[in-house]
Amino acid sequence: MEIAKSKGLDELLNWDDIQNMKYPWNVSCESMRLLPPAQGSYREATMDFTFASYTIPKGWKTFWTVYSTHKNPKYFPDLEKFDPSRFEGNGLAPFTYVPFGGGPRMCPGKEYARLEILVFMHNQVTKFKLEKVIPDKKFIYAPSPVPVEGLLIRLLPHN
Ligand code: HEM
C-alpha cells in the first residue's frame, strides 16, 4: 500500500514504482510457489546420471516439475503455509524456486509477466475490495491450475 498511498487518483505507475513493489511481488511469488501456473518442461540428458536412485541414460527426455520442486521441505519449511516472507532477504538457493524455469531456456516473458501481475494487483487493490464467493476454493490441474467452480469474486468499491 506504500505505492498506492504515494499516487494520486488515476495517476499511472512508473518503472520506479514497479521496482519498489517488493511485498506485492513476494505475495505473487508465494502464490506461484503453491499454485504454479506452468507445470514444468522437458530436457534431454546430456550424460548418464542418477537421481533419487533412478539412473537416467544419456539422450533420454526428462520432464522436470515446478510443483514438486516447490514442495521441498528442505527449502520451504512449513511448506503448505502461505508465507510471502520466504522471499525476503537475499533470495533462495538456485533452482529451488522455478515458476519460470531456469538456465538458458528460462521463460523470456518473466519480466513482462512480473510487470503485468504488479500493475494488475495495484489497480485491483486500490480500486476494489475483493470477496470470494466460494470461500474454500479447490483447484484441479488441467494442466495449469483451474478453480473447480470458476473464480467467482465480488468486487466492492472502497468507501
Ligand atoms: C506467470 C506467467 C508465466 C509463467 C509462470 C511462465 C512459465 C514458463 C516456464 C516454466 C517455461 C519453461 C522454462 C524452462 O524450460 O526452463 C516458460 C517458457 C517460455 N515462456 Fe513463459 N511463463 C509466463 C509468461 C510468459 C509470457 C508473458 C511470455 C511471452 C510474452 C512467455 C513466453 C515464453 C516462451 C517463448 C518460452 C519458451 C522459452 C524457450 O524454450 O526457450 N511466458 N515459461
Q: Which of 90, 85, 38, 24 lies closest to 77, judged by CA?
A: 85
Checking ipTM against 0.90, whether it exceeds it is: yes
The protein residue whose alpha carbon is closest to atom 30 in ligand 1 is: 109
Classify 135 as helix, strand or coil.
Answer: coil
Q: CA-to-CA distance for 85 and 72, rounded, in angstroms?
A: 17
Grid cell of 153 as nine digits? 469474486
φ, ψ for residue 134, nearest 5 deg: -110, 105
Q: CA-to-CA distance for 56 and 46, rounded, in angstroms?
A: 10
**What fold, for 2-157?**
Cytochrome p450 (1.10.630)
The protein residue whose alpha carbon is closest to atom 17 in ligand 1 is: 107
Domain spans, the chain: 2-157
Q: Binding residue per annotation — 29?
A: no
pLDDT for the residue 8:
76
Output the CA 4–ligand 1 centroid distance in Å. 29
The answer to whether residues 55 and 62 touch, using CB atoms and an 8 Å cutoff, is no
Pocket test for ligand 1, best of 63, 107, 114 (most atoms within 8 A of CB): 107
pLDDT for the residue 3:
77
Q: Which of 19, 28, 32 lies closest to 120, judged by CA?
A: 28
Q: Is the shortest distance between the CB of 26 and ligand 1 below 6 Å?
A: no
pLDDT for the residue 72:
95
Q: Which of 48, 156, 26, 37 lies closest to 107, judged by CA?
A: 37
Cα 8 → chain centroid: 29
Residue ranges for the chain with pLDDT beneath 50: none
pLDDT for the residue 153:
93
Q: Which of 112, 135, 125 lies closest to 156, judged by CA?
A: 125
Output the CA 113–ligand 1 centroid distance in Å. 9
pLDDT tens track for 10-43: 789 999 999 999 999 999 999 999 999 999 999 9
pLDDT for the residue 91:
84
